[in-house]
């Protein structure tokens, strides 16, 4: 199988190896201390790793991820044990992740990574421009933590 984006994996990793790391990390997540993040993404490819996702599977929805505190490995809820998902959903219903940074403490507010920002921007391009013909060409992080993207028109190669 094709390797995924070089920004999210070592070049020698296969998709299967990359996903296995997330499955293993998911087993280690304690739902009482986990960070939770959501974004709009492909619901059938939440990690954005399938470059050949058929057009008929192009479905955008809210996708939830969790990680252990201070970990950089985010795990999509469907890759977590059922008991972990249930407890995280209960914490979400209780408002544990809705508290302000002053109430919650900055350690529990997950910073946005390049991969997450890039995926969110790509989804926004599809949703708001109603086209998959735009792609992110470059990205830089500004001193204040925001990301600046360069977008270009995507034209598939004619082989």
pLDDT of residue 25: 95
Report the DSSP beta bridge partners of residue 40.
62
pTM exceeds 0.75, yes or no = no
Checking if the pLDDT of 81 tops 90, the result is yes
DSSP codes of every residue in 121-142? HHHHHHHHH--S-EEEEEEEE-
pLDDT digits (tens, 9 = 90+) for 8-51: 445 567 888 888 999 999 999 999 999 998 888 888 888 888 87
33-70 in b/e form (b: 16+ CB < 10 A) is ebbbbebebbeebbbbbeeeeeeeeeeeeebbbbbbee
């Amino acid at each position: 199988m094709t390797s995924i984006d070089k920004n999210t994996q070592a070049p020698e990793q296969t998709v299967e190896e990359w996903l296995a790391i997330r499955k293993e990390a998911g087993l280690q997540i304690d739902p009482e201390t986990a960070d939770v993040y959501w974004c709009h993404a492909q619901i059938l490819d939440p990690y954005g790793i399938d470059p050949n996702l058929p057009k008929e599977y192009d479905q955008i929805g809210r996708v939830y991820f969790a990680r252990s505190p201070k970990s950089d490995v985010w795990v999509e809820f469907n890759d977590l044990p059922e008991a972990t998902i249930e407890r995280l959903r209960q914490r979400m219903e209780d408002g544990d992740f809705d508290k302000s940074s002053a109430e919650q403490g900055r350690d529990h507010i997950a910073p946005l990574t390049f991969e997450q920002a890039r995926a969110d921007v790509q989804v926004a391009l599809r949703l708001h421009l109603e086209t998959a013909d735009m792609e992110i060409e470059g990205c830089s992080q500004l001193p204040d933590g925001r990301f600046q993207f360069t977008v270009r028109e995507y034209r598939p190669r004619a082989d």
